[in-house]
A = this chain, B = another copy of it.
């Protein structure tokens, strides 16, 4: 065994030693030998084993053997004691004539102590896993896992559980926590003055709380509240734990902080056995067992995962949109959840206020909403409506002045699983939009949220350039749809070039007089010929295309995509001036800004030029998506969303099933 403890032999006083199974006691024979000692011998009870180092040419130490300067005794025990001091080892010292000079006696009590966790990640707390105090990624890895207890068990005065300062917890709450077990074996009591202490370091005190099972559960008490008292937290970093002999004590560990810039997610819990010295002198730890946990990261869910619920806002003016969405969602077999006006207070951008994700561990998992620092009128929705039992909540709150339009979560997406130059991302990669790093000024996603996203580590983020857009969200130029072939998905990109190509073909085929926006009341129409004749618009779209191409190159590199994995959608942009800067907006409803529900796509109705009564843009879209086996439903969002600078995706949000792949099986 690795853990060796030096102990003293003393000829003047019999010594009592508490021995922990699996460790080794080491005693210098020479240090305690009386003057003139030349020989020594050793005797011990059956349960005790010893080795003399250096080894002598002898089969037995029962009769006197020569004492050397560096003679050392290594002592172990086979089993835990039944009674205190039920084992003994004695060393006899002799002079040159082999006359006894004195003897040193060790009375030994053996105890077995193990602090246990689910280090093999099968949902059960095994006994004394040799890897319990290290953490390793991958299917052959090990190390226990902790959830941030960020759901709310009770809806009365609702708060995330990990933010409650109550010192006892109910049983419905400990199931969100990781079990930890102290197993002991030995005499009914520890020798006088010895103590078991559970302890954590100060920085871990801010990251976890440990609760203890009261053990003796009274079946007759109708409520199970008050049965799990708090033992370790930031203001109490160490706690004496009763030693119960041959028994076990169950603990529950709660995470209170997600991995972040200043926290790699790992925390350690230690159990020490303390030896008393005397009044006023601190006890000495003579054995320490340690376990490690990693706090589960927050994980995002890409468009390729199965939808569970779809959320939209109801406003005074979006009846047509709601009707289209309801029909699409219900015919796809999912549930549409409507956030009503008393809650949304007129804010229709359901995509932007929150991002759905989840946390997971071998024993439990649940969805967690990340609340955006955007904080407009929808601000209360994630906390007031979503947070609840087994539905967690997390947010990052930067200073107001640091928040921009790029902090809305239409600017936070995630790719399907990819492999890039041999590196696997089985949970995909997070995608955010920022300003060019070279830009002297520019809007950015706030550092506080970016730091949080990076610190989750399992979906390594990619930064795209989205500041060229007036609204500045990546969902204005990209989306992912499922596909049965290739990598299991396609990247859809808005493409002004594809738009111009489609319009030129229409002109070429004699449809130059076809009109856009024909069926929209009060909206001026414009013909294909007029669009193609507008050289300024062409320049603006060349610029937009170059911005998208820059992002296209980054996405290809960072997601390991080929051109064949990308589909260009015919979308035009126009530039608008805003404080001296020109930025882009969709010219007609931006078809890439869609909602993806399995094989059914809800796409902003583009109101493009018609050929034989059929919208050429819709037709192109139906053809491109049809090749992938996907069905397009066009939803009229023109007045209620497009004119307000957003589309279908901006106005909706989808909670999806977690990945089948378990995050701790990633190779990092």
Chain A contact residues, CB within 8 Å of chain B: 2, 4-8, 10, 28, 31-36, 70, 72, 197, 199, 201-202, 238, 261-262, 270, 272, 274-275, 277-286, 435-440, 442, 447, 467-468, 495, 497-498, 501, 504-505, 508-509, 539, 542-543, 545-547, 549-550, 552-553, 556-557, 563-564, 568, 575, 577, 580-582
Contacts and interface: CB of A to CB of B under 8 A. Distances in A.
A282 B439 contact: yes
A31 B497 contact: yes
B202 A274 contact: no
Given A498-B31, A582-B280, A4 B438 contact: no
27 contacts: A2-B557, A4-B557, A6-B552, A8-B497, A8-B545, A10-B542, A28-B563, A31-B495, A31-B498, A31-B568, A32-B501, A33-B501, A35-B504, A35-B509, A70-B564, A201-B437, A261-B262, A278-B582, A280-B581, A281-B543, A282-B442, A282-B468, A283-B436, A284-B546, A284-B547, A284-B550, A286-B550
A438 B283 contact: yes
> Interface residues of A: mostly helix, strand, loop or mixed?
mixed
Contacts of A442: 282
A8 B542 contact: yes
A581 B282 CA distance: 8
Q: How many copies does the complex hold?
A: 2
Contact of A285 (B36, B278, B438): B438
Nearest 5 Cβ contacts at the A-B interface: A6-B549, A35-B508, A280-B582, A31-B497, A35-B505
A581 to B, nearest CB: 6
A546 B497 contact: no
Contacts of A557: 2, 4
A115 to B, nearest CB: 14
A438 B269 CA distance: 12
Given A282-B467, A436-B284, A438-B283, A553 B5 contact: yes
Contacts of A278: 539, 543, 582
Contacts of A285: 436-438, 550
Given A4-B556, A31-B568, A508-B35, A437 B547 contact: no
Contact of A4 (B201, B553, B564, B581): B553
A8 to B, nearest CB: 6
Nearest to A506: B35
A7 B497 CA distance: 12
A69 to B, nearest CB: 10
Given A35-B508, A546-B277, A549-B8, A199 B262 contact: no
Contact of A577 (B280, B438, B581): B280
Given A70-B563, A580-B280, A6 B543 contact: no
Given A6-B553, A447-B202, A549-B8, A238 B438 contact: yes
A552 B564 CA distance: 65
Contacts of A495: 31
A2 B439 CA distance: 24
Given A281-B581, A284-B436, 9 more contacts: A7-B549, A8-B545, A31-B497, A31-B501, A35-B509, A72-B563, A282-B467, A282-B581, A285-B550
Contacts of A35: 504-505, 508-509
Contacts of A34: 504
Contact of A437 (B33, B272, B568): B272
A408 B568 CA distance: 66
A423 to B, nearest CB: 14
Nearest to A439: B282
A19 to B, nearest CB: 15
A330 to B, nearest CB: 37
Contacts of A497: 8, 28, 31-32
Contacts of A28: 497, 563
A286 to B, nearest CB: 8
A31 B439 CA distance: 29
B438 A274 contact: yes
Contact of A438 (B197, B501, B509): B197
Contacts of A435: 282
A546 B508 contact: no
A179 to B, nearest CB: 23
Nearest to A279: B582
Nearest to A543: B277
Contacts of A261: 262
A34 B283 CA distance: 87
Nearest to A504: B35
A654 B445 CA distance: 51
A545 B7 CA distance: 10
A469 to B, nearest CB: 12
A32 B542 CA distance: 12
A458 to B, nearest CB: 20
Which of A238, A274, A549 is most buried by chain B, counting CB atoms within 10 A of its CB? A549
A8 B495 CA distance: 12
A40 to B, nearest CB: 15
A440 B238 contact: yes
Nearest to A548: B6
A564 B71 CA distance: 11
A437 B270 contact: yes
Nearest to A238: B438
Contacts of A580: 280
Contacts of A556: 4
